[in-house]
Amino acid sequence: MKRDRTVAMLGYALVILLLAGPFAPRWAMFLTNIALCYGIAVLGMMLLMRTGLVSFGHGLYFCLGAYAAGTLEMLFGVSDMALMLLAATVLSGVVAAILGLLLRKYREIFFAMLSLAFSMILYGLLVKSSSLGSSDGFNVTARTLFGFNLANAPYERYVIYAITVICAFAAAVAIHKYLASHNGRLAGAIRDNELRVEYMGASVRNTIHVNYIISAVLAGLGGALAGISVGHVDPVMAYWTTSGEFVFIAILAGTGNVLAPFLGAAIFETIRSFAYEYSPNTWQMTLGITMLVVIMFLPGGVWSLFARARKAA
Amino acid sequence: MSQLLAVLIDGITYSSWLFIIAVGLTLIYGVMKILNIAHGSLYAIGAYTAASIAGHWLAEGYAPMGSYAMILLSAVLVGLIAGPLIERGLLRFMYGRDEIVLVLVTYAVFLILEDFVKLVWGVDPYFLFQPYGLLGNFDIGGLTYPNYNLVLFGAALLIGGALYWGLTKTRQGKILIAVIHDREMAGALGVNVGRVYLVTFTIGAMLGALGGALTAPMISVQPGIGVEVIVLAFAVVVIGGLGSLTGAALGAIIVGLVRSAAVHYLPEVELFSIYLVMAAVLILRPKGMFSAAEARKI
């Protein structure tokens, strides 16, 4: 059996990202920060895709997590980053546990559509909630971390960045372990043939439900981190285009390895930032063409290039 | 009383509009099993083209009534150009892939076309308001409505009727139904499946463009109009049952009336009432209201 180097690679990435942070230019650190937030959300998407499901409504949890973090400060005056993240993951998990009761019965396009409907309901609600800033959203600031004061400290940005890096690392390792576990291996079997999985005595619906909750928690965590990093949340996070971006990144990257979503998110954010900078009217076109090229020539996503190279070595 | 009447009239107008934008989507899904996100872009391109061509027509001082013909012409043009281009140039290489992959392909097309619109027409809004007021108004129960609402209603009836007639009464329609039921068997019996797909997609694209072209006089045509329309159209076809013509009609009526009631009685819930209905229908009837039971294939 081949040695599993994924965790080691994740470890290297963690150390490099943490060390490089203070020396990197601010824009690069911010870009990495946002890419990691998206990467965490897409990691959840990847888990769902490995189960054979595509959600066109994961923006729901991304937005829910961000708003959970934000409202904690706005309504209850709690602005500790750790508590914000905790609130985001718990809320996403609870909502996913409830919605999962319904969604676990759905497959394919119907799963995608029902999750789309749920996220659009949240969008519609938020746009009309004037106490939460309607369509403008509101600002979010994490003032403390485990009680240590962050506000106005020169290293504030770096701390947020470092927390994001650590969260991404933890999430990736956890999902990697999970995929190798009993439940994780069932995912691929369910994608291939549900009926046989049922014949062999495993519950397809339970597995899907659990995976759905995990992916929602990740999306919520990513959303909360994104909200805190950007310093602002708005309802567009629940709009279908956000969910579409997650699916986009997952397809772009491929679902072969837990590193893939982060790679995909990095590529996506880089294209978006640079294309937006240099030709604001064609950045979507760039993304679309990239997407078509990947679908046509790299059905396994960008990650399959690495996998192929490693196999050849 | 007059408020109820207003709800009904607004609801019917809105339903007609929804049916026109959604019917192309359901047609394409029904035949090709492609949930075409690019439908939103075709809608936008239709609106822009109509604003340009009909706007030019009016600016040149030709007979104002001709602007309606120009609107129709724009939709046909867009459909005839964009439809074959997308289907022949891209989609036909993708048949046989997962439904979800096809959704993503059309999503990519959607992204490309969104920017294409900005490149061609720029980011400033276009206005084509003349055709909206040209036909005068009608009074009912003390309320005044523009006659253009009737145009929408008539167009929806005409499109629905023509499609129904085409599908059930003509030879081509029967061939189409054969292809829907079993693409490979139909192909084996000598049906040119590729051509059926091409024609279907072109008609679907034309209907999407027509939706946009007919809407152009009622809105300011600007970037981003396609993004909102596509989720609405999704809601309509999913409520009715993907791929069902009657379903699209019923979905449009439900969504239209619900939204119009929400606007009049409870404006706060307007936006999400539609998606609430969509979720409710999916929960109760997972495949929509009109959808045939399918055998599970192992």
pLDDT for B298: 44
Instruction: Inspect the interface and report whether the beta carbons of A291 and B104 lie closer than 8 Å.
Output: yes
Query: pLDDT confidence of B268, banded at 50, 70, 90?
Result: confident
* Mean pLDDT (whole number) for B202-225: 86
Model pLDDT, residue A312: 63
Structure tokens at B212: 């946009």
C-alpha to C-alpha distances, A59 to A140, A159, A215, A241, nearest whole angstrom: 18, 26, 11, 8
ipTM for the assembly: 0.83
**pLDDT at residue B62, rounded to an integer:** 77
Chain segment B84-93, per-residue pLDDT in tens: 888 888 888 8
Average pLDDT of B103-121? 88
Whole-number average pLDDT of chain B: 83
Whether B35 has a pLDDT exceeding 70, the answer reads yes
Please, which pLDDT band fits residue B286 given cuts at 50, 70 and 90? confident
* pLDDT of B297 strictly over 50: no
Find chain B residues with C-beta within 8 A of A120's C-beta.
Answer: 231, 235, 272, 275, 278
Region A172-199: mean pLDDT is: 83
Q: What's the average model confidence in pLDDT over B160-188?
A: 86
* A246 part of contact set with chain B, CB < 8 Å: no
- For residue A219, what pLDDT is reported? 93
CA distance B204 to A307: 40
CA B77 to chain centre: 16
How large is the average pLDDT for residues A262-285?
83
Q: Residue A154: pLDDT band by 50, 70, 90 thresholds? A: low
pLDDT confidence band for B250 (50 / 70 / 90) = confident
Region B15-28: mean pLDDT is 89
Which of A129, A195, A247, A284 to probe by mutation at the B interface, max B CB count within 10 Å?
A284
Q: How far from chain centre, in Å, is Cα A132?
A: 23
The answer to whether A4 contacts chain B (CB < 8 Å) is no
Q: Can you tell me the mean pLDDT for B19-39? A: 88
CB spacing of A288 vs B296 below 8 angstroms: no
Q: What is the mean pLDDT of residues A123-150?
A: 77
pLDDT at A217 over 90: yes
What is the percent of chain A where pLDDT is above 70? 96
> Cβ of B94 and A283 within 8 Å?
no
Question: What's the average model confidence in pLDDT over B3-32?
Answer: 87
**A residues 259-288 lying closer than 8 A (beta carbon) to B:** 281-285, 287-288
Residue B209's pLDDT band, with cuts at 50, 70 and 90, is very high
Global confidence as pTM: 0.86
User: Mind telling me how many Å the CA of B154 is from chain A's nearest CA?
Assistant: 30
Helices (H), chain B: 2-32, 39-59, 66-89, 99-121, 130-133, 148-169, 171-181, 183-188, 193-215, 225-240, 245-265, 270-284
pLDDT of residue A181: 86
Cα angle for residues B21, B22, B23 (degrees, 5° grid) = 105
Cα–Cα distances (Å) from B220 to A193, B59, B107, B212, in that order, read: 49, 17, 24, 11
Nearest to A120 among B93, B227, B231 (CB): B231
**CB within 8 Å: A288 and B278:** no
Helix (H, G, I), strand (E, B) or coil at B287: coil
Q: Which chain A residues contact residue B108 at CB under 8 A?
A: 287-289, 291-292, 295
Q: How far is CA B137 from the centre of its chain?
A: 26
Instruction: Write down the mean pLDDT value for chain A.
Output: 83
Contacts of B276 in chain A (CB under 8 A): 121
Query: In the prediction, which pLDDT does B205 show?
Result: 92
